[in-house]
Structure 1
Amino acid sequence: MRRQYTLFGWHLSYFTGKALCYLRYKQVDFRLKPVNLLTLTWTIKKKTGAAVMPVLRSPQGEWIQDTSVIIDRIEALIPDNPVIPATPVQAFASRMLEAWGDEWWVPIAMHTRWNYPENYALFEHDAGKALLPWAPTFLQKKAAAKPARFLRSMLPYVGIVPEQYDRMNRWTVKMLDALDAHFSATPFLLGERPSLGDFSLVGTMYGHLGRDPWPKRELIEPRKHLSAWLERMKNPAPHSTGALLPNDGIPRTLDPVFYSVFHEFVPMVEAVAENTARYAAKHGLNQKLPRRVGQVTTTMAGEPFTRGALPYMVWMLQRALDTYHAMNAADQANVRQWLSGYGAAHVLELDLPRVNRVALNVSVEKLPSNFLEQAA
């Protein structure tokens, strides 16, 4: 039997969509295997430290968890058609888009799934069949109910509370309209082929907004250019030879996106980083932090938006800043100049705690200098 990669996940999973589209783009020899109850709660947890999906098992038997790590690994093994642009501004922008797509859109995806009851039948069918593939339907429904209850219980922790529904809805419509307008002029975020930001953004579109009945009908299908992009992302390999925008360009049609990245998402991560540093200072460095350390308030659609503080966001933003710090001086100057156009050059000076990923959590390796000065 030919040895190949195995991607363990569900089509309805936020991050499985990201990994699935990426592996198709890179033309990796893999199969998608739905995660059953035993694999999820025993095998994956034993191999990676968390009961989570997706997970990629290599032909050599390595279990790779986290889509960012999966992409890093495959990019190193298969350098053809890279998803990280070679030029500095596009490379940094791609990393920022990955963090934004992975973290900022989670409340939108969960809100549009769990607050519209017509979506539940699809979740129940897919999750139940995956968890207990050989069981009768009534047992599959019981199996699906458990993760459904857990996910619903998480809604308040990511900011999905009734008093915030309206601003979430307004933000979603505004952003989807902006993306639809962008894709009317450009096939992918940065040109004629997908890059890292596309694969991160498709996470929320593939399994949630573009698949659940309510958001698919009400939000995605009426926007024909966004819908066409999503279809391209489901089978992206034919677009691998396309060119990114010349001269390290970033299209101005993405201005609303980068406004959200720099003036909504980044301030949220700054607040999360402060909570993270405070927790680590109290409980010690190099220890796994909880998934949530209090709550933070940022803005969404011009209004306050409060949600749980997930230290994992710090690791995602850290990846983007590491990309910048690895550049030579001339490339750094280009990135700084581009950020200045958004009033966001301060992003490069962020003094975050240095964190290490521990499955779905992080540990703090080093406290930020400004925090140490305040403590002194």
Structure 2
Amino acid sequence: MRQNYTLYGWHLSYFTGKAICYLRYKQVEHTLKPVNLFTLTRTIKKKTGAAVMPVLKTASGEWIQDTSEIIDYIESLHHENPVTPNTPVQEFASMLLEAWGDEWWVPIAMHTRWSYPENFALFEHDAGKALLPWAPRFLQRKVAQRPANMLRSMLPYVGIVPEQHSTMNEWTEHMLDALDRHFQTFPFLLGNKPSLGDFGLVGTMYGHLARDPWPKRELIAPRTHLAAWIERMKNPAMFAGEMLIPNDGIPDTLGPVFHSIFNEFIPMVVQVGDMATQYAKENGLNKRLPRRLGDVCTTMGGKPFKRGALPYMIWMIQRALDCYTHMADSDKHDVRVWLRTHKAEHLLNMNLPRVERRALTVAVTALPKQHMENLA
């Protein structure tokens, strides 16, 4: 089935980069349309419930928001070149990698953009030109200040405060080095072609680290293998016929990545889940949660890291856990054995509430079992 799609977004947008690379890989006919002020604040908000990007418009007039749901939709119609591996460990690992790329890296992307003023001119140029494409330059600059100020105001909510800058910088250097070593051996995360995890990770690289002047020069350019992966992800269709690592294998070179997932990201999700459960007990089920429930403390590179508790990440991990739930018993066994090698089998028993996505946040639809008796 071939349809023409319109992707509304900006090249400088975290999640637009993820969607662009994915659509190019799937080789579906699509047009990237920069989001202007009217489309963002009126049309998209009316169609999806939030002024957000990217959004995919289908030939039938459907508007789909959230890159994971965009991918689900395209995968359901275009079966060639699937991005979800067909073996259990790689499938489960790729969903964890997508969630980690989508949620954990947001503070890094925002820090490397907004903590370094030399990046501001590119954002001002691109955002202004997109929002008011026919306006004089001085008006474009002026209108670009609104999203810039909004994004700057969010920095403390995701942990970007001066006392945590060194922690973020050290972690970023360490993780980019680990990824560079991995891509010296493997073209993509799980082998010779991209899978779901690659598209999750490329979001922070495409529009932020590999495009903004400071991180592009200081962080990406010195790491030539990582830089080469980013270039491959920009035009990934040529790799569609390649293979993932055989025998459902996960490369040892991804050890630092999964250490971060299991020891930094997952503990944060557990705490956010507890906060979402408490909110639902106090306010009832099926009510949209605030985008930020308060603050949560995890670790980053072995150091304490405090950031906002965003309940959306529960939905992302829920997707991975649902994937496991629907596996055959033999496949579940393989996943548990793999998790055991990372001392992370407890991930399968996380006490998370059941959530449903509502635009940019979620609503709790069911409490964890041990809390059900406390619901009025």
- Where on the TM-score scale, by shorter chain, does this alignment land: which range? over 0.9
Over 6 Å off, 4+ runs: 373-376
Give me the whole-angstrom Cα distance separating, in 2, the residues matched to 1:356 and 1:195: 25
CA deviation vs aligned residue, 1:107-160 (integer Å, no higher than 9, x gap): 000000000000000000000000000000000001000000000000000000
- Structure 1 match to 2:45: 45
- Structure 2 match to 1:366: 366
- Structure 2 match to 1:132: 132
Give me the whole-angstrom Cα distance separating, in 1, the residues matched to 2:359 and 2:109: 22
- Structure 2 match to 1:283: 283
3-state SS of paired residue (1:75) = helix
- Structure 2 match to 1:186: 186
2:162 corresponds to 1:147: no
Q: Partner amino acid for 1:58?
A: T
- Structure 1 match to 2:5: 5
- Structure 2 match to 1:32: 32
CA deviation vs aligned residue, 1:170-203 (integer Å, no higher than 9, x gap): 0000000000000000000000000000001000
Q: Partner amino acid for 2:245?
A: L
Give me the whole-angstrom Cα distance separating, in 2, the residues matched to 1:190 and 1:140: 42
Give me the whole-angstrom Cα distance separating, in 1, the residues matched to 2:3 and 2:101: 32
Alignment CA distance shift 1:64-1:285 (3 Å): same
Give me the whole-angstrom Cα distance separating, in 1, the residues matched to 2:195 and 2:3: 28
CA deviation vs aligned residue, 1:40-95 (integer Å, no higher than 9, x gap): 00000000010000000001111010000000000110111110000000000000
Q: Partner amino acid for 1:291?
A: R
- Structure 2 match to 1:70: 70
**Alignment root-mean-square deviation, CA:** 1.2
Q: Partner amino acid for 1:265?
A: F
- Structure 2 match to 1:339: 339
Matches within 5 A, 1:224-373: 224-372=224-372
Q: Partner amino acid for 2:146?
A: K
Give me the whole-angstrom Cα distance separating, in 2, the residues matched to 1:314 and 1:51: 22
Give me the whole-angstrom Cα distance separating, in 2, the residues matched to 1:94 and 1:288: 28
Q: Indicate the percent of aligned positions where both proteins have the same amino acid.
A: 69
Q: Partner amino acid for 1:217?
A: R
Give me the whole-angstrom Cα distance separating, in 1, the residues matched to 2:351 and 2:309: 17
Give me the whole-angstrom Cα distance separating, in 1, the residues matched to 2:273 and 2:66: 20
Q: CA deviation at 1:375?
A: 7.8
Q: Partner amino acid for 1:117?
A: P
Give the TM-score normalised by the residue count of structure 2.
Answer: 0.98
Q: CA deviation at 1:374?
A: 7.5
Question: Is 2:94–2:197's contact at 8 Å kept on the other side of the alignment?
Answer: yes
3-state SS of paired residue (1:72) = helix
Give me the whole-angstrom Cα distance separating, in 2, the residues matched to 1:334 and 1:375: 36
CA deviation vs aligned residue, 1:322-356 (integer Å, no higher than 9, x gap): 00000011100000000000010000111210000
Unpaired runs of 5+ residues, structure 2, are none
Give me the whole-angstrom Cα distance separating, in 1, the residues matched to 2:169 and 2:369: 38
Q: Partner amino acid for 1:331?
A: D
Q: Partner amino acid for 1:6?
A: T
Q: CA deviation at 1:373?
A: 6.2
Give me the whole-angstrom Cα distance separating, in 2, the residues matched to 1:190 and 1:374: 43
Q: Partner amino acid for 2:347?
A: V
Matches within 5 A, 1:59-138: 59-138=59-138
Q: Partner amino acid for 1:309?
A: A
3-state SS of paired residue (1:286) = coil
Give me the whole-angstrom Cα distance separating, in 2, the residues matched to 1:220 and 1:131: 29
Give me the whole-angstrom Cα distance separating, in 1, the residues matched to 2:210 and 2:374: 46
Give me the whole-angstrom Cα distance separating, in 2, the residues matched to 1:290 and 1:3: 36
3-state SS of paired residue (2:83) = coil
3-state SS of paired residue (2:336) = helix
Q: Partner amino acid for 1:189?
A: L
Alignment CA distance shift 1:371-1:304 (3 Å): farther
Alignment CA distance shift 1:146-1:289 (3 Å): same
Give me the whole-angstrom Cα distance separating, in 1, the residues matched to 2:373 and 2:156: 34
Q: CA deviation at 1:25?
A: 0.1
Q: Partner amino acid for 2:147?
A: P
- Structure 2 match to 1:172: 172
3-state SS of paired residue (1:357) = strand
Give me the whole-angstrom Cα distance separating, in 2, the residues matched to 1:37 and 1:10: 12
Q: CA deviation at 1:370?
A: 3.1
Unpaired runs of 5+ residues, structure 1, are none
